[in-house]
Amino acid sequence: MVFMAELDARRQQAKERWEQKINADVYITVGMGTCGLAAGAGDTLAAVQEELERRNLSAVIGQVGCVGMCSYEPMLEMQAKGQPRVNYGNATGSNVPEIFAAYFDETPVRKSVVVGEMTPTITQVNGSALHSLSFVDPEDRGKIAFHQKQLRVVLSNCGLIDPESIDDYLAADGYEALAEVLAEMTPEELIEEVTQSGLRGRGGGGFPAGVKWGLARKTQRWPKYVICNADEGDPGAFMDRSVLEGDPHSAIEGMIIAGYAIGAQAGYIYCRAEYPLAIRRLEIALEQARELGLLGDNILGSDFSFDMVVKEGAGAFVCGEETALMASIQGERGQPWPRPPYPAVSGLWQQPSNVNNVKSYAYVPRIIRMGAEWFKNLGTEGSPGTAVFALTGMVNRTGLIEVPMGITMREIIYDVGGGIPMGRKFKAVQTGGPLGGCLPEEHLDTPVDFDSLRAAGAVMGSGGMIVADETTCMVEFAKYFMQFACDESCGKCPPCRIGSTRMLEILERITGGEGKLEDLDEIRRVARGMQTGSLCALGQLAPSPVMSTLRHFEDEYRAHIEEERCPAGKCRTLITYEIVAELCTGCMVCGRNCPSNAISGEKRQPHVIDAELCERCGLCTEVCKFDAIVVY
């Protein structure tokens, strides 16, 4: 058994080691999240070692999670003792020598980018501290644009600490909240504190976490279970992955605290199989926590015992629905069951269970340490705290962002995201993925919080935010989400199973140029059936993307139906490719690349596309260096 005093001693050591690490002669970190690795962070690390050898330098090299600036991956940070810590983007293996030269010899960077100077930030409240980071522009000393409006709370450790080191987490005051809870709070006081903070479930539902915990506590049946929903299946969303990959201990600590609150002894983290790195880091973190006595019998010398395992999903979006998730943990088909009874009364194996999202749990240690009052004052009255979004699609700075609730969509897209690339026009922003809705230009000043978004016809969702520009066909966009819902419908209840299929057929008809105006009413009718008759949120919310695009972009639907025209130039049966003779140089590249041999013409003479043969694959527009091919 490990007692409080031993944890304190270990934390002291960890803090000393942390100081040593960040004050090494040379300290280098490489972002090793999935995005970083996919962009080549493994090569970067190898190149760093080579370059250190070549320059005969010794350095401490560390790995960190995602700092959120995915478009700059791979990323590398370098600091010589007493010097600024500079973050470089596009730090591929081959660019590492130039980065070393830039840092040590002050030569300019050419292929890589100076993102900014990484500056640790500390927020102090009630004698507790929240360690985080920010990036400062080396020239004007202000925060870089991407960071100006961000506020990192749940992501505070991501990019700062080594996710595979419990000592790093301890050095950042990790597990202090757990120690405080076990030493000083009754479960009732703890639940009261979480309720007071106003924390709402970050899986998208927005149900008050404290109230949920209270219900599970009240049910007098044991065993009880704490379940973490890490089945982040929304296409276009990777918030939970980043938390688990960059700071797994914070979610684990939150779950242990929840276990104490509701009186559970066992926990499950249900993580989707598509996240192998997150699963590996969770397993490492759990093992470390066990070794330190933070999991297991009599945690920190108290009479509270708790342990948890990771359950790997098997590829089913519906398992993000809490009852389907529990069915899956039980080894069954992931099909939802009707509620009530709610999981707090009868959940996993019919026992009382508390299901929360990864971020909801990860907020908890911070709320306990910094106080409910502090958390409540971030964000808005109805939605305290911050919101984490995976900002993707047609926006200049894609990435993972954390902003205070109440910020507007416009600020997120233009200030944080840097606007739409290539001077194109913004069309819509979609939140909540396949179960969410989109907002057009005129709603861009909607504050981002649970209630305002719902009122505007979109939802908070679990944090996916996808920007569409004028080249996105909104009918095709809606069809895509319906295809997803149709594929992922578990098939248990007819409104969802049949409704999504019928809806998809109608949308296919419209994008295929065979739509009728009556189809629009039919869509509305089927949607109502799905919304009112489906068993779970998947079926109830699956019509949302279609309904919101129909509400805001009915003209696009009508153009497809009445004019047999796709205004965005996306729907293949409704578009034509043509070569502009004045711009064509007759270089013949398009002709060589055309898979259906539809392009002909003499060398150095304008080419033509045979509309009969053209399959509208778009390859020619991609290979043409003179922008001579137009779509209409």
Partner 1 sequence: MGVSSNGDVDLTLMDEVFGKYAQQEGALIPILQAAQATYGYLPGEVIKLIADRLGVSLGKVYGVATFYAQFYLERRGRHVLKLCDGTACHVKGTPILMTAVEEEFDIQPGETSENGELSVEIVYCLGSCALAPVAVLDGEVMGRMRQEMLVRRVKKHIGTD
Residues near partner 1, by CB under 8 A: 34-35, 37-39, 70-71, 73, 232-238, 241, 273-275, 311-317, 328-335, 349, 390, 392-394, 398-399, 430, 433-434, 464, 466, 468, 472, 477, 480-481, 484, 487-488, 490, 593, 595, 615, 617-619, 622-623
Q: 361 vs 389, which CB is nearer to partner 1?
A: 389
Show Cβ contacts of residue 146 under 8 Å, excluding neighbours closer than 6 positions: 68, 69, 135, 397, 399, 401, 416, 418
Tell me which residue of 200, 202, 233, 236 sits closest to 438, measured CA to CA: 236
Closest separation in Å from C-beta 302 to partner 1: 27
Both tokens assigned to 503: 């809806």
Q: Are 65 and 90 in contact (CB under 8 A)?
A: no
Residue 330 CB, nearest approach to partner 1 (Å): 4
DSSP assignment string, 128-188:
EEEEEEEEE-TTT-SBPHHHHT---STTTTTTTS-TT-HHHHHHTTTTHHHHHHHHH--HH
- Please say which residue, 187 or 236, places its beta carbon nearer to partner 1: 236
Residue 619: CB minimum distance to partner 1, A:
6
Cis omega (within 30 of 0) for bond into 352: no
Residue 611 token pair: 């509309």
302 forms beta bridges with none
CB of 233 to partner 1, least distance (A): 7
The smaller minimum CB distance to partner 1, of residues 431 and 446, is found at 431
Crossing angle for the helix pair 474-488 and 554-562, nearest 10 degrees? 100
Q: What are phi and psi of 430, to 5 degrees?
A: -110, 125
Closest to partner 1 by CB, 210 or 545: 545
Which residue, 94 or 532, is less far from partner 1 as judged by CB?
A: 94
d(Cα 487, Cα 490) in Å, to the nearest integer? 8
Minimum separation from the CB atom of position 238 to partner 1 (A) = 4
Query: Considering the complex, what minimum distance in angstroms separates the CB of residue 174 from partner 1?
Result: 24
Name the residue nearer to partner 1 (CB basis): 349 or 626: 349
Cis peptide before 187 (omega within 30 of 0): no
In this structure, what DSSP letter does residue 296 have?
Answer: B
Closest approach, Cβ 521 to partner 1, in A, equals: 27
C-beta of residue 362 within 8 angstroms of C-beta of residue 174:
no
CB of 3 to partner 1, least distance (A): 31
- Tell me whether residue 175 or residue 389 sits nearer to partner 1 (CB atom): 389
3-state secondary structure of 206: coil
Of the pair 161, 319, the CB lying nearest partner 1 is at 319
CA gap 256, 558 in Å, rounded: 54
Q: Which is nearer to partner 1, 393 or 437 (by Cβ)?
A: 393
Element (H, E) at 5: helix 4-22
Q: Which of 474, 485, 475, 459 is nearest to 542 (CA)?
A: 485
User: Min. distance of Cβ 492 from partner 1 in angstroms?
Assistant: 11
Nearer to partner 1, 66 or 344 (CB): 66
What's the min distance (Å) between Cβ of 503 and partner 1?
18
| Minimum separation from the CB atom of position 335 to partner 1 (A) | 8
- Whichever of 100 and 270 has its CB closer to partner 1, that residue is 270
| C-alpha closest to that of 285 among 337, 361, 390 | 361
CA–CA distance, 609 with 595 (Å, rounded to integer): 12
